[in-house]
């Protein structure tokens, strides 16, 4: 380590804000002085822009990725006694949403690249299975062609957990446009990020759109009338104005992350470290750049000592959390990966010098 090496942070949200504030603050001020804080033009505009970006008919913004998943499940009528097949290597939000509507999350294993193991998923389908919920973890899409073929044949709905995959494509189609609904998060740590909680759903199904649009706002048809009981799951106007501003910069952010990912691949080529290869029919957007190696914990400590921050997404697979009381399946790859995965810093503010420094540090670690 050079004495004057600076800290390489995993994320850099204050830098993002400082860079944007001259243009962004006047827009926020405009919303604040308009007095329209709930379901304003900015919220409508965000939903229109998202439809355009994803080439879908409908979008409903909501107040978190978890709510996007919950409302999606509700719109499909999922409740007690139903089973939803999903991945245990995801963030707790995926399984929590299934639990919130009273259904049972059934976990299937994953491939080496952390995407849904389609054969294992298929083996877990039974008469109670109502939804398959693939998770496009790290911004790498699951094999949606095979998943959709199975779902259609068995008459099972599909909700894509797109919390980490904005901008990702499979066979040139955006994430969230294969299944019945795509659920996104705009949490501050995601690639399209608000300055607080937020999210949205996309769909081409008008019935599901109409239901979720009412459901997120207490079922209000208008000021007086209620169609059904709902929730308070609206996206704030302040977050919408920030997201409208940042959506314009999203492709640039993804491009920088793609660049950093290819630099990692170039410099890590000769080490005994696994990372997923590029598939020619897909665009991965690298919300996370995850490597897998045996002595992960030691490398994480070594990087930290050298002023490099890394993270683990996620150290305890969901089926291993104590809150799941029923008998859990053994998920060989999911469990192995939870001990070997490490997310290297890849945020858009890092350049070639930073990535080289991380890789040099990893080289030194292996040389010891
Ligand atoms: C972030 C995330 C969620 C939950 O989103 P929130 O906005 O935090 O509620 C769900 N699934 C995955 C895969 C996530 O990364």
Give CATH 3.40.640.10 domain extents, the chain.
16-247
* 274 Cβ contact list (under 8 Å, min separation 6): 112, 291, 292, 293, 340
Confidence category of residue 288, pLDDT binned at 50, 70, 90: very high
Check pocket membership of 291 for ligand 1, CB cut-off 6 A.
no
For residue 5, the model assigns a pLDDT of 80
Taking the centre of ligand 1 as the mean of its atom positions, its distance from the CA of residue 71, in whole angstroms, is 14
Q: Express as a percent the part of the chain with pLDDT over 90.
A: 95
Say whether pLDDT at 2 is over 60: no
Rounded to an integer, the average pLDDT of 184-205 is 98
Residue 324: pLDDT band with limits 50, 70, 90? confident
C-beta 193 within 6 A of ligand 1: no
Does 3.90.1150.10 match the CATH number of domain 250-367?
yes
Pocket test residue of 63, 159, 163, 184 for ligand 1, highest count of atoms within 8 A of CB: 163
Instruction: Using a pLDDT cut of 70, give the percent of the chain over it.
Output: 98
Closest among 49, 93, 46, 44 to 72, alpha carbons compared: 93
Mutate to test the pocket of ligand 1, among 64, 65, 140, 182 (most ligand atoms within 8 A of CB): 65
Which residues of the chain does CATH 3.90.1150.10 include? Answer: 250-367
What are the counts of helices (DSSP H) followed by strands (DSSP E) for the chain? 12, 12
As a whole number, mean pLDDT of residues 86-98 equals 97
CA of 367 to the centre of ligand 1 (A): 37
Helix residue ranges, H only, the chain: 13-34, 41-54, 65-75, 92-100, 118-123, 144-153, 206-215, 237-247, 250-268, 296-305, 332-340, 352-367
Please indicate whether residue 343, judged by its CB atom, sits closer than 6 Å to ligand 1: no
pLDDT in tens, 342-363: 999 999 999 999 999 999 999 9
Is the model's pLDDT at 4 over the cut of 70? no
pLDDT digits (tens, 9 = 90+) for 207-229: 999 999 999 999 999 999 999 99
Q: Closest Cα to residue 161, out of 225, 89, 221, 248?
A: 89
Query: Does 161 contact ligand 1 (Cβ within 6 A)?
Result: yes
- Given pLDDT bands bounded at 50, 70 and 90, which one contains residue 367? confident
The reported pLDDT for the residue numbered 3 is 56
Ligand 1 mutation pick, 73, 94, 287, max ligand atoms within 8 A of CB: 94
Going by pLDDT thresholds of 50, 70 and 90, the confidence category of residue 322 is confident
- pLDDT of 63 higher than 70: yes
Confidence bin at 281 (pLDDT 50/70/90): very high
In the predicted model, what is the mean pLDDT of the chain? 96
Token pair of 221, please? 């048809």
Mean pLDDT over residues 26-45, rounded? 97
SS (H, E, C) 45-88: HHHHHHHHHHCCCEEEEECCHHHHHHHHHHHCCCCCCCEEEEEC
Peptide bond preceding 21: is omega within 30 degrees of 0, i.e. cis?
Answer: no
Residue 325: pLDDT above 90?
A: no
Non-local CB neighbours of 363 within 8 Å, separated by 6+ positions: 271
Cα–ligand 1 centroid distance for 363 (angstroms):
33
Name the pTM for this structure: 0.97
Cβ neighbours of residue 25 under 8 Å, at least 6 residues apart? none
What torsion, rounded to 10 degrees, do the Cα atoms 38, 39, 44, 47 define? Answer: 90
Residue with the nearest Cα to atom 7 of ligand 1?
65
State yes or no: pLDDT of 112 exceeds 80.
yes
> Which strand (E) or helix (H) includes residue 5?
none
For ligand 1, say whether the CB of 199 is within 6 Å of any of its atoms: yes
**What architecture does CATH give domain 16-247?**
3-Layer(aba) Sandwich (3.40)
| 326 — pLDDT class (breaks 50, 70, 90) | low
Is the pLDDT at 268 greater than 90, yes or no?
Answer: yes
Does the beta carbon of 94 lie inside 6 Å of ligand 1?
Answer: yes
Closest CA to ligand 1's atom 2: 163
Which ligand 1 atom sits closest to the C-alpha of 164?
A: 15
Q: pLDDT band for 270, please (50, 70, 90 cuts).
A: confident
- Ligand 1: does its nearest atom lie under 6 Å from the Cβ of 91? yes
Q: Among the atoms of ligand 1, which is closest to the Cα of residue 66?
A: 9
């Amino acid at each position: 380590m050079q004495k004057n090496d600076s800290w390489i942070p995993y994320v850099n949200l204050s830098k993002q804000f400082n860079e944007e504030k001259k243009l962004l603050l006047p827009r926020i001020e405009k919303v604040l002085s308009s007095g329209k804080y709930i379901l304003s033009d900015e919220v409508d505009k965000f939903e229109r822009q998202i439809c355009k970006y994803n080439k879908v008919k409908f979008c409903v913004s909501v107040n978190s990725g978890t709510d996007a998943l919950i409302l999606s499940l509700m719109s499909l009528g999922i409740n007690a006694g139903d089973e939803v097949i999903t991945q245990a290597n995801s963030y707790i939000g995926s399984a929590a949403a299934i639990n919130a509507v009273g259904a049972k999350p059934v976990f299937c294993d994953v491939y080496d690249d952390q995407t849904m193991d389609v054969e294992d998923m298929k083996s877990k389908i039974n008469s109670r299975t109502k939804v398959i919920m693939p998770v496009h973890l790290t911004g790498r899409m699951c094999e949606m062609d095979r998943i959709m073929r199975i779902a259609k044949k068995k008459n099972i709905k599909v909700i894509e957990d797109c919390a980490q995959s904005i901008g990702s494509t499979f066979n040139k189609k955006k994430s969230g446009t294969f299944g019945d609904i795509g659920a996104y998060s705009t949490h501050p740590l995601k690639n399209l990020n608000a300055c607080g909680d937020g999210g949205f759903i996309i769909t081409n199904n008008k019935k599901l759109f109409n239901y979720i649009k009412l459901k997120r706002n207490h079922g209000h048809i208008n000021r007086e009338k209620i169609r059904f009981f709902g929730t308070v799951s609206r996206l704030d106007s302040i977050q919408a104005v920030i997201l409208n501003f940042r959506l314009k910069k999203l492709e640039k952010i993804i491009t920088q992350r793609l660049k950093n990912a290819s630099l990692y691949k170039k410099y890590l080529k000769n080490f005994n470290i696994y990372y997923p290869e590029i598939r020619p029919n897909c665009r991965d957007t690298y919300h996370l750049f995850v490597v897998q190696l045996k002595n992960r914990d030691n490398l994480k400590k070594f990087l930290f000592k050298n002023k490099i921050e890394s993270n683990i997404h996620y150290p305890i697979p969901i089926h291993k959390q104590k809150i799941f009381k029923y008998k859990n399946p053994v998920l060989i790859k999911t469990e192995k990966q939870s001990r070997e995965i490490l997310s290297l810093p890849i945020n858009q503010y890092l350049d070639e010098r930073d990535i080289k420094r991380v890789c040099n540090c990893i080289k030194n670690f292996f040389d010891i």
